[in-house]
Chain A
Amino acid sequence: MSLELRNVEKKIGQETHIYETNLKLEKNTINVLLGSTLAGKTTLMQIMAGLDKPTNGEIWFNEKNVTGVKVQKRNVSMVYQQFINYPNFNVYDNIASPLKITGVDSNEIKNRVGKVAELLKLSPMLNKRPNELSGGQQQRTALARALVKDSDLILLDEPLANLDFKLREELREELPKLFEDRDCIVVYATTEPSDALLIGGYTATLLEGKIVQHGKTLEVYNQPNSLQSAQVFSDPPMNIAKIKKQGDVCSLISDDVSWKINSKLKDGEYKVGIRPHNITTYKEGSNSLEISGKVLISELSGSESLIHFTNGDLNWVSLSNGIHQKNVGEQTKLFMNSDEFLYFDESNKLVNNV
């Protein structure tokens, strides 16, 4: 089983929503579509589902061309950002609805709904209606409806975005387990890099209607093929600075910070990408570099400290574990872990491995 987009393109009027895309999703995988709002995640999912037709290109499922085949005939299920359930059905009937339509035998329905409800912790509220449930329970119901069907393709369009923090964390941890032993392809769209990392599987980074990179989630994270992919997959945003390489020494152009690298790169100008958690108030790794700057904003979030500071003419973001209070305007010293630096050339390609 596999889902393949071949040269898929989507235009609405003069506007291109999806640029020519080739993507192959394999059997029994979870695939995260990672990108900001309007990157084309929803459009891409609707094309995959058959809710929308591509302007050009083909969709192949199981080595069969299914372009233009209607969604009802594709055995697809989808969960949305909004909690979509039948408003006047109770939880049981909601979960059972896709089975009833396809005419599954009633004992079988009871059996399957019971199992899925148990899995999603909905058993105590099978008789309640959606408007008597919390947001989290409503979304669990929608998820149960998607799971009960044994679909070949399950699409999740930012399913956690409308939930409050605690419920989101809770459900996010359960999600990967839900799909573990299923014979299907799961596609999960999100704007949050942390979602992708937690879910694992495969990730495709999306930017302005283009898939920038597709691969195993950790590989995409550790070895982004380009600056764009790295930027999409970094929250808070990645720090990018211009550097000069001469011999085995690199130095920031905006400040006199320099470090040694062992690489066959040609001498010249490059860009370095530094994820915020690689700039910390304490030393980390064996190749720690000192950088000083003036504090712009200092905020605590949970047990992490986010410090925005200026160095040279750039604004930097650093993320440290633990609580580190800094005063705004204060001159401060921070440490960069140069082992984790990502180097990009003029055309924004990653050059770390050269």
Chain B
Amino acid sequence: MNKTVNQKAWLFVIPVFVLVAFNAIIPLMTVVNYAFQETFGNNVFMWEGTRWFKQILLSDRFHAALGRQILFTLIILFIQIPLGIFIALTMPKEGIGVSVCLVLMSMPLLIPWNVVGAMWNIFALPDIGFLGHSLNALGFDYNFTQQSGDAWFTTVLMDVWHWTSLVVLLSYAGLRSIQPAYYQAAEIDGASRWSVFRHIELPKMKKVLTIAILLRFMDSFMIYTEPFVLTGGGPGNATAFLSIDLVKMALGQFDLGPAAAMSLIYFFIVLTVCWVFYNLMMKNEGQS
């Protein structure tokens, strides 16, 4: 057989390559470039090797931000995943209620992130906000702009409000794909509601839940806009999560080198966690 050589196919790859180059490769490489150099402006750069990486990895400030970030993400996952599954389980399975619930559930997801932050900021203001005022009227000493516990409470509540729907929608889709015969078979066995959940619904939702956890992990680990608008990282540094701290370093102090090194470390943490988690979850999955 004669194979004809035709390199024209490469022409078709070029647009994608250019696009990816501009939106991913070039910016990332710029960051890599900064991470190994020092600059005092005027486009003059000096080689610094791994100095910034060592500095970041050993700095208390980074440890504190990372600690806050991990705590926040864990809280978010532990609330949103079970809550999302629970809501999905209680949603109607047929009739008009389905569309009503789906639309209601999608609403928070459609609101721009900074608007969510601004909404909750006003909503939680202790003097005029509905939430803040009500809490104070009920006798709680609530002020998210001054007490770090309250700031955390408000940030978590905001995120739960904003993102639980995503878990609900994914879980609901997973639940709907279970064939009715599974429920009948369990009914014939006389299985309890809990066993049906534990041994049919949960395993059948495993794949969508893996995606849900991954998405919620990535989003919450990289959260910026909403807490920036709500608390600005405060009071003090109480809600300064990784990306808020990063922006402070890069744009506030203009420490380009350390900020770039921190970005890369940040990026590798997210990448590694996602990779390990995904592979663990999918380890025993066959083709089915």
Complex CA distance for A102 and B285, rounded to whole angstroms: 30
Q: Which of A46, A49, A87, A89 has the most CB of B within 10 A?
A: A87
Complex CA distance for A82 and B199, rounded to whole angstroms: 17
A84 lies within 8 A of chain B by Cβ: yes
B41 lies within 8 A of chain A by Cβ: no
List A residues 66-85 near B (Cβ within 8 Å): 71-72, 76-78, 80-82, 84
User: A78–B185 contact, CB under 8 A?
Assistant: yes
Complex CA distance for A102 and B288, rounded to whole angstroms: 30
Chain A interface mostly? mixed
| A77-B188 in contact given A84-B181, A84-B182 (Cβ < 8 Å) | yes
User: A84–B285 contact, CB under 8 A?
Assistant: no
User: B184–A131 contact, CB under 8 A?
Assistant: no
B4 lies within 8 A of chain A by Cβ: no
List A residues 39-94 near B (Cβ within 8 Å): 46, 49, 51, 71-72, 76-78, 80-82, 84, 86-89
A132 lies within 8 A of chain B by Cβ: yes
| Closest Cβ–Cβ distance, residue B1 to chain A (whole Å) | 32
User: B185–A84 contact, CB under 8 A?
Assistant: yes
A112 lies within 8 A of chain B by Cβ: no
Q: Which of A51, A101, A102, A130 is close to B184, meaning CB atoms less than 8 Å apart? A: A51
User: A131–B181 contact, CB under 8 A?
Assistant: no
Q: Which of A51, A88, A89, A132 is close to B286, meaning CB atoms less than 8 Å apart? A: A132
| Closest Cβ–Cβ distance, residue B282 to chain A (whole Å) | 12
| Closest Cβ–Cβ distance, residue B24 to chain A (whole Å) | 35
Tell me the count of chain A residues lying within 8 A, CB to CB, of chain B.
24
Binary interface profile of B, 199-226, with partner A (CB < 8 Å = 1, else 0)?
A: 1101110000000000000000000000
List A residues 85-141 near B (Cβ within 8 Å): 86-89, 97-98, 101-102, 129-132
| A72-B181 in contact given A89-B199, A131-B286, A131-B288 (Cβ < 8 Å) | no
| A78-B286 in contact given A86-B199, A86-B200 (Cβ < 8 Å) | no
List B residues 168-184 near A (Cβ within 8 Å): 179, 181-182, 184
Binary interface profile of B, 125-157, with partner A (CB < 8 Å = 1, else 0)?
A: 000000000000000000000000000000000
- Given A78-B185, A97-B189, A102-B190, 9 more contacts at CB 8 Å? A49-B188, A51-B184, A76-B188, A86-B203, A88-B202, A89-B199, A101-B191, A131-B286, A131-B287
Q: Could you tell me which B residues sit within 8 Å of A by CB distance? A: 179, 181-182, 184-185, 187-191, 195, 199-200, 202-204, 284-288
Q: Could you tell me which A residues sit within 8 Å of B by CB distance? A: 46, 49, 51, 71-72, 76-78, 80-82, 84, 86-89, 97-98, 101-102, 129-132
Subset of 22 A-B contacts with CB under 8 Å: A46-B184, A51-B188, A72-B188, A72-B190, A77-B188, A78-B185, A80-B184, A80-B185, A81-B181, A84-B181, A84-B182, A86-B199, A86-B200, A87-B204, A98-B188, A98-B189, A98-B190, A101-B189, A131-B286, A131-B287, A131-B288, A132-B286
